[in-house]
Homo-oligomer: A and B are copies of this chain.
Amino acid sequence: MTIKSEALRTLPLFSGLKKDENTLLIENSRMQNCERGTFLFMHGDMITNFYVVCRGTVQIFRETPDGHEVTSDLLIAGDSLNADEIMTKQTTHNKNARAVDDAVLLVIPVKWMQENLSNFDHMAAHLMANLTDRLHSAQIEAEHQSTMSATQIVACYLQRLCMLYGFDPEGFDLPYSKTLIASRLRIELETFSRALKNLRGEGIDVDGVHVSFTDTKKTGQFVCDQCSLCEDCPAHLFLHKKAAQG
């Protein structure tokens, strides 16, 4: 029970709840361990729960008719799996969710969320902010996809990864397989592999799973060339700040 209340306390989504609201939430939620490879839900399953990742990583993906997996997101601690399914008219999941590694999740019945949304002013606001952020990211990513080269996209992603996970820019290891990352970036594994090679000339060194940023200024120029959203993309902002510092 302490791990659960700890989770509820630290999750931004549930910050600012009153004491009795918090108690109610504890009563109506549960923690779930989910070992590597198991599905949380599959495409077509009924939408019954709202999930928040507390530990580990969850892959959200679809499967094309020919069996190819298309990853739409990789979620880590603090991310919600299906905030977009709380207010939808649909009754079934339209994607698959699977634990990439051993994961721990907070599970709340969707029905309960829906019924109590209006009581919990703060939570509704948080949810809306969450949806807004996701929409924003999706739009930026769509624009990236159509205006940047695969190599630029990879560079941008590595930067974001470093920020989001709080890794050391001097050197860190990729948190999951290259196959998974390539799928997430909607490029082929081969293209991803070649992109990493190209990046060596642009200030990013990748050897095996080890990444290190060697020339932030150069990388910044490379990534933001032809890009209209430097101010909006967190990775670009980061690069600019670094570059300004010298």
List residues of chain A with CB under 8 Å of any chain B CB: 62-66, 70, 72, 84, 86-88, 94, 117-118, 121, 124-125, 127-129, 131-132, 134-136, 138-139, 141-143, 145-147, 186, 225-229, 231-232
If A64-B227, A70-B228, A124-B128 are given as contacts, then 5 extra A-B residue pairs at C-beta distance below 8 Å, sorted by A number, are A63-B228, A64-B228, A65-B228, A72-B142, A146-B186
Q: Bound state CA distance, A226 and B225, in angstroms?
A: 33
Among A72, A87, A139, A226, the most chain B Cβ lie within 10 Å of the Cβ of A139
| Complex A-B: 13 CB contacts under 8 Å | A64-B226, A65-B225, A84-B132, A86-B128, A86-B132, A87-B129, A88-B132, A88-B136, A118-B124, A118-B125, A135-B138, A145-B145, A145-B146
Which chain B residues lie closer than 8 Å to A65 at the CB level? 225-228
> Known contacts A228-B63, A228-B65: does B128 contact A87 (CB below 8 Å)?
yes
**Which single member of B131, B136, B142 contacts A132 (CB below 8 Å)?**
B131
The distance from the CB of A119 to the nearest CB of chain B, in whole angstroms, is: 10
Q: Bound state CA distance, A36 and B128, in angstroms?
A: 32
The distance from the CB of A149 to the nearest CB of chain B, in whole angstroms, is: 14
Which chain B residues lie closer than 8 Å to A66 at the CB level? 226
Among A84, A86, A227, the most chain B Cβ lie within 10 Å of the Cβ of A84
Q: Bound state CA distance, A134 and B135, in angstroms?
A: 7
Whether the Cβ atoms of A138 and B142 lie closer than 8 Å is: yes
The distance from the CB of A150 to the nearest CB of chain B, in whole angstroms, is: 12
Whether the Cβ atoms of A87 and B227 lie closer than 8 Å is: no
Q: Who on chain B is nearest to A94 by CB?
A: B232
> Known contacts A65-B227, A138-B138, A228-B64: does B125 contact A87 (CB below 8 Å)?
yes
Q: Bound state CA distance, A143 and B88, in angstroms?
A: 19
Whether the Cβ atoms of B94 and A231 lie closer than 8 Å is: yes
> Known contacts A84-B132, A132-B131, A134-B135: does B145 contact A142 (CB below 8 Å)?
yes
Q: Bound state CA distance, A86 and B84, in angstroms?
A: 17
Q: Nearest 5 A-B pairs (CB), nearest first?
A: A138-B138, A146-B186, A131-B131, A64-B228, A62-B228
**Which single member of B121, B129, B139, B147 contacts A64 (CB below 8 Å)?**
B147
> Known contacts A65-B226, A66-B226, A228-B64: does B72 contact A143 (CB below 8 Å)?
yes
**Which single member of B62, B125, B127 contacts A229 (CB below 8 Å)?**
B62
